[in-house]
Structure 1
Amino acid sequence: MYWNEQDEQIIIHTPPNFSFKQNLHYLSRSTNECLFHISEDMVRKAITVGECITLIEIKERDEHSLVVDFLGDTRPISSKDREKVAAYIFEWFDLKTDMSRFIELSSNDPILQQAITEFNGLRIMGIPDLFEAMVWGILGQQINLTYAYTLKRRLVEQYGRALEFEGKQYWVFPSPGEIANLSIEDLASLKMTVKKCEYLLDVANLINLGLLTKEMLLETNDIKKAEKKLTSIRGIGPWTANYVLMRCLRFPSAFPIDDVGLHNALKYITGSQQKPSKDEILLLSKAWKGWEAYATFYLWRFLY
């Protein structure tokens, strides 16, 4: 990570092929997002550092760096905690990935050429917290994105924590412990299915008890092993597992091949009257081997 402190600010030095504007556009895709606020050229987000909540504002300083301000009196006193904030931003904005190989293969691929030209600098915006990523994957199962955001807002505003700044509430996602102590009836009151309630409670308990951690999955160093570990959990199928592998664990070869959005994007790009079959997607994606997650994320961009 390449960052430094200047006065009361953190300066994040961004890698080549990074566009703050493109990534801010991705973050703006829903008007019902509850975990950050975007206004013009900046994003504000509350994050948990240890037992405290800090509120950060991220702006582009120049084409090679971002500037991070701490709002109110939430600047961490400890330099180690400020380092954690910088690490979170690197993870959130996917600033550690060298995109040069993906750009090279995309430039010569008939499916990805338009995407890499129009959306150059887009990164896989991450969900650094494993519990949040898994819950978001579960909430999104078999419903449209609009309703998934509604369910997330209900969950966060009912069981998360918030701080107020300039008249706005800034929420942090509830912890596994906070959800593990709930009942199915508690969650069902948010208007989600009983099955989703059960899945959320199972995942909350596993993570809260230390039986599932981000480190365990990363230590497999093998996407198939990590996927198998995730799909062994009730309610976590291949789509949800690959979504988590893609956005939280950052396996570049994660591939949610059954994703409806991916199918719609491919239909748009190819000009086809119907969505591609799984065999057709496998054929098209041969050229993206090792970069399927990035190909998927770039193709999704045509949908918002």
Structure 2
Amino acid sequence: MQVSTRFAIALPAGYVPAHALAFHGRDANGPAERVEGTHIRKAVLLDGVPTLLDLAIHDDHADCAIDADGPVAARARAALVNMLGLAIDPAPFAAMVAGDALFAPLVGRHPGLRVIQAATVFEALTWAVIGQQINLAFAIALRRSFIELAGRPHASGMWCYPEAADVARLDADQLGMRKFSRAKAETLLRLARLVADGDLDLERLLDEHGAAGAAERLLAIKGIGPWTVNYALLRGYGYPDCSLHGDVAVRNAIGRLLGGADGPRPDLREAEAFLLAYRPQRTMAAAYCWASLGAPVA
């Protein structure tokens, strides 16, 4: 049973499509994403149903389509909003730093900067685990293998990013054959099984426990550390006050902001203290740090 729905999402003035296009197009050969011009297509499993999310971005709106091989999940519309990067409003940060000698020039140089999210929290969290401590090119290759191994096809022919139940059926050896380290494979399986068994409700985690409580529950999972948690809060939940002091690129950017091109990289404690000044908008501070380096989309 194919179920389709069409609607439009209004875009704020000054919306810059390039940020969403770069994030969703970071794997030119990705089985679950296709980016052509200002058109994004994303295949993902939602409540067990292969679903194609379609975005055609225009000046003031995005034409949206949901084509599901079954009942449309209630969270499909929210997934499209996330993919456009509309969850975090950048205006409060811009107002906060209007007189800031470090960030005000960055805001001026990168108009319309937004934090783009993954379609689902599970996607953001598993991507964060996959990308831990490896370079971006290798992480993208692993992600591609992960989708091919655990995902399922949509009627369009695209391959859907998996849900927890699909990943939970795998074993570490299957992932190991695709070049996943044993530790990375076991962390992915441990996470997926907790979600699939109902012991961890990712969709309600932030609303029910707040950022600190959500972080505590995720950190209790072996193999998940503070950087992974903050990345999941940023890309999965669109939480506006993530401290990315553990991110090497953010720390490099802070060093340059404070000391010029040759400024020394601060240590974790120094970077955390620097970012504290930008509460409760530290997510956008990290986004501008990345932008200041021209860092690849992760």
Which residue number in structure 2 is paired with residue 47 of structure 1?
44
Q: CA deviation at 1:261?
A: 1.9
Q: Choose the corresponding residue for 2:151, options 160, 170, 173.
A: 160
Show the 5 A alignment for 1:177-196: 177-196=165-184
- Separation in 2, partners of 1:231, 1:31: 32
Alignment of 1:48-197 (within 5 A): 48-62=45-59, 64-69=60-65, 74=67, 81=72, 84-163=75-154, 165=156, 169-197=157-185
Matched with 2:241 is 253
| 3-state DSSP of counterpart to 1:55 | strand
Query: Would the alpha carbon gap of residues 107 and 129 (structure 1) be closer, same or farther in structure 2, given more than 3 Å must change?
Result: same
**Alignment partners' CA distance in 2, 1:190 and 1:277:** 34
Give the distance between the partners of 2:245 and 2:132, measured in 1 at CA: 14
Matched, 1:275 2:265: yes
Kept in 2, the 8 Å contact 1:58–1:68? The answer is yes
What are the superposed Cα offsets for residues 90-116 of structure 1, whole Å, 9 maximum, x if unpaired? 122232433321111233333323432
User: 1:175 and 1:299, CA in 2 relative to 1: closer, same or farther beyond 3 A?
Assistant: same
Give the 3 Å change call, closer, same or farther, for CA 117–164 of structure 1 in structure 2. farther
Structure 1 distance, partners of 2:99, 2:209, is 29
When structure 1 is superposed on structure 2, of 183-192 and 259-268 the one drifting more is 259-268
Q: Which of 280, 289, 293 is the aligned partner of 2:283?
A: 293
Name the CA shift for 1:25/1:137 in 2 (closer, same or farther; >3 Å).
closer
Instruction: Give the CA deviation at 1:83.
Output: 6.2
TM-score normalised by length of structure 2? 0.86
Q: Relative to structure 1, is the Cα distance of residues 94 and 282 closer, same or farther in structure 2, using a 3 angstrom cutoff?
A: same
Quote the residue 2:22 is aligned against: 25
- Does residue 303 (structure 1) correspond to residue 295 (structure 2)? The answer is yes
Q: Distance in 1 between matches of 2:19 and 2:90?
A: 15
Structure 2 counterpart of 1:3: none
Quick check: 1:199 aligned with 2:187?
Answer: yes
**CA distance in 1 between partners of 2:70 and 2:149 (Å):** 30
C-alpha distance in 1 between matches for 2:48 and 2:81: 21
Structure 2 letter corresponding to 1:85: A
TM-score by structure 1 length?
A: 0.84
Matched, 1:36 2:33: yes
8 Å Cα contact 2:117-2:236 kept in structure 1:
yes
Partner of 2:229: 241
Asked if structure 2 preserves the Cα contact closer than 8 Å seen for 1:60 and 1:66, the reply is yes
2:100 is paired with a residue whose SS is coil
Distance in 2, matches of 1:280 and 1:271, equals: 18
Cα distance, 1:30 vs structure 2: 4.4
Check conservation: 2:122, 2:202, Cα contact below 8 A.
no
Count of aligned positions: 289
Aligned-pair identity in percent equals 26
Contact 1:105 1:287 (C-alpha < 8 Å) held by counterparts? no
- 1:190 alignment partner AA: R
Once the two structures are superposed, what CA deviation does each residue of 1:131-168 show, in whole Å capped at 9, x if it has no partner? 22221111111111111111111111122112364xxx
Q: CA deviation at 1:29?
A: 4.1
**CA RMSD of superposed structures (Å):** 2.6
